[in-house]
Structure 1
Amino acid sequence: MRKVLKNRYGLVRSGWIVFICMALFYALTGMASMLSVEILRKILIATGDINDTTGYMSSLALAIDDALPVALQILMEIVIILLSISVWKIMRYQWRDLGLRDFSKSFKKDGITGLLLGFGACTMIFLILIFTDNVRIDSVRPDSYSSLFWWIVALLLVGFGEELFCRGLLMSVLRRSNNIYLIMALPSVIFAGIHLFNPGVTAISIVNIILIGIVFSYSYYKSGNLWMCIGYHITWNIFQSVIYGMPVSGLNISSIMTSHYPAANLLNGGDFGIEGGILTTCVNVLLFLYLLYRYRTSTYEFLPDPHINFQGTSDTRKDY
């Protein structure tokens, strides 16, 4: 039984930790969302802003209902970030091994590049769709500036939180397996699984999310930091949705441009957005080729597990 739970160094096997992390992820995010909605509902019923019998909703209740999607998205990302940090502290890893080390140097080197790549990739696909009449711009008239602001905040947290959890935490935990293919593949599949129940999801969209997950994993594996992944993730989401008005992972949110797809197809990705199209597949492959070149001289050693020193003994030093 001990061998099932622990490896030869006496450390809990990475598979169990990943399982626990995922169980906590779904339990905490689900619980936070349901509790928030139920508490709000009871308050509004108590104040007379909602009447279940007549179906009445006051202007306040309608405003809260409109703001609920972005509020729940922000709440979920905060839960993910706090979960990642909490597990990290419990495991007593060194903070620099979470992928957020050396901000001033690493962000300038990789983070800004990631921001530019995410913007460039999304914009290139958008322009191709415009020129091929697979997306049409209806107007350039910003929605509520308040709504735009909060969706930008939400998408900033999405980029940071999902990369911290899927790459920073899960990839680092999987170091214990000493299997680089597993380290890169499993978090990428989990990353896709997080989007599995989004509106409009298709087989191609799941494949694309797994592919970009592997690209992000490779970046973290070769550089030791998450800033490239976080930067790309943030600008890809913001420009796709808030700026260009296309669905982002199946979600339609407040935007500056109002655009629509004349018909759903393999180029524009249909209801899921460009992440469900083959143009994104091509971009993911090109990005991976670029990273192969960019990190061709990288000397960063992702393995072995920082908890294990070169004498093969457990090392659980703190560095907070």
Structure 2
Amino acid sequence: METLTVKQKVFNSPVTKIVLALLVFMAVVIIGQQIASKLLGLTSLDKDYRNLLKGLFVSAAAVISYILFFKKYEKRKITEFATKGMVKNLIIGAIIGFVLQSLTILVIYLNGSYSVVAINPISFILIPFALMFTVAIIEEILVRGIIFRIIEEKLGSYWALIISSLLFGVLHLWNPNSTILSSLCITTAGFLFGAAFISSRSLWLPIAIHFAWNFTQSGIYGAITSGNEKTNSLLTAKIQGLELITGGEFGPEGSIQATLFCFITTAILLFLSHKKSRIIKPFWK
């Protein structure tokens, strides 16, 4: 039996793999943004279209760098970004994200805290579309594709789910207007995205849910997303009322009903994962 050297053990350890992957991936994203900005700045395209193309370019660079890095590092086929089943996962994920956010807004509306001020041209969705598409791909590759997946190999699905989701919540603590409730909801959303990956064994599903959740919130219903400034949106809306229901300055995803909807969907996905035998046990079991 071949004995691994100390150097090989260190190189193949989960910690080393995560650190190297994060460094390479973030370098590609940052450099990709700079290159795209410089090239598109030379064109006469409208700012909205430049942002859309920049988002698509950076997203493509992110996916390609992930595939190439782990194909070389782990010497395997990158099934989590397989084209087979991609369209199905993207459609299902988009539906889940849209429905969850729509239900969240519906509760705010029924509480008398949401009203439409104006309906804007369809072109208003370009900026939030490009932004949320890029954010979803980058965050899902970082948290689910790298951190969750590598931890899961050793500690199993549930420990990986707990660690990555708590980290996801903690990272959003630095967002403007963050609260304990908003952090709880973001952590629950982390469980949802992780459960989506376990259920499908594809990153396309959590990416689609994540994108649709954010885009529906800010690009369609005109709400704040994760405490950031409002973007252009299809609907200009007025949201005011009890912070527990509206999410306050953090946005609807910081509300109690958003947390509840994410929790229920997570439970359903984990139940389906058990039925499909897709839960990975920790190495000691």
Q: Please give the TM-score of this superposition, normalised by the length of structure 2.
A: 0.77
Q: Secondary structure at the match of 2:245?
A: coil
5+ residue gaps, structure 1:
45-59, 306-320
Partner of 2:144: 167
Q: 1:91 aligns with which of 61, 64, 73?
A: 73
Partner of 2:15: 15
2: CA distance, partners of 1:31 / 1:194: 22
CA shift, 1:15, in A, is 1.7
Give the letter for the 1:18 counterpart: I
Question: Which structure has the larger Rg over C-alpha atoms?
Answer: 1
Partner of 1:100: 81
1: CA distance, partners of 2:141 / 2:237: 32
Inter-CA distance 27–168: structure 2 relative to 1 (3 Å threshold): closer
Tell me how large the CA RMSD over aligned residues is.
Answer: 3.6
2: CA distance, partners of 1:277 / 1:4: 49
2: CA distance, partners of 1:206 / 1:95: 35
Deviations 1:83-116 (A, max 9, x none): 423431331342344x123523x643x4433222
- Is contact 1:73-1:154 (8 Å) kept? yes
Inter-CA distance 15–175: structure 2 relative to 1 (3 Å threshold): same
1: CA distance, partners of 2:73 / 2:204: 23
Q: Which moved more, 1:221-230 or 1:253-262?
A: 221-230
5+ residue gaps, structure 2:
none
Q: Secondary structure at the match of 1:267?
A: helix
1: CA distance, partners of 2:253 / 2:7: 38
CA shift, 1:244, in A, is 0.5
The answer to whether the aligner puts 1:259 opposite 2:240 as a matched pair is no
Partner of 2:246: 268
Inter-CA distance 299–132: structure 2 relative to 1 (3 Å threshold): same
Q: Secondary structure at the match of 1:260?
A: strand
Q: 1:230 aligns with which of 207, 212, 219?
A: 207
Inter-CA distance 23–190: structure 2 relative to 1 (3 Å threshold): farther
The residue correspondences of 1:21-36 to structure 2 (distance < 5 A) are: 21-24=21-24, 29=29
CA shift, 1:235, in A, is 1.6
Partner of 1:315: none
Q: Please give the TM-score of this superposition, normalised by the length of structure 1.
A: 0.70
Matched residue pairs, number? Answer: 276
The answer to whether the aligner puts 1:141 opposite 2:120 as a matched pair is yes
2: CA distance, partners of 1:138 / 1:283: 27
The answer to whether the aligner puts 1:187 opposite 2:190 as a matched pair is no
2: CA distance, partners of 1:302 / 1:123: 32
- Is contact 1:222-1:302 (8 Å) kept? no
